[in-house]
Amino acid sequence: MEAFDAELVARGRQCGVEILSLKDVEALGRANLKKPVPPKPDDLAVICFTSGTTGERPVLHLVQLIWD
């Protein structure tokens, strides 16, 4: 993965925004392991639609699993 443009990183820093690559975020996660927290019935859920075919279950099956 290519590094972010230095100007973008500097502009983010000026605005108080830290710009991290996915690799950096993954490293932070590995360094700060936490036990998984199971979702509760009133937790917010996000369903993200993509434009490609992934071979995964159709979204309606996922919604069925969420509500069961």
Summarised one tens digit per residue, pLDDT across range 38-47 is 989 899 888 7
- Residue 19 CB: number of other CB atoms within 10 A? 13
Could you tell me if residue 16 is left (phi over 0), alpha (psi between -120 and 50 degrees) or otherwise beta?
A: left
51/68: higher pLDDT: 51
18/57: higher pLDDT: 18
pLDDT above 70 for 52 = no
Domain boundaries, the chain: 6-67
State the pLDDT at residue 46.
80
State the pLDDT at residue 29.
93
pLDDT above 90 for 12 = yes
**Tokens coding 54:** 């992934």
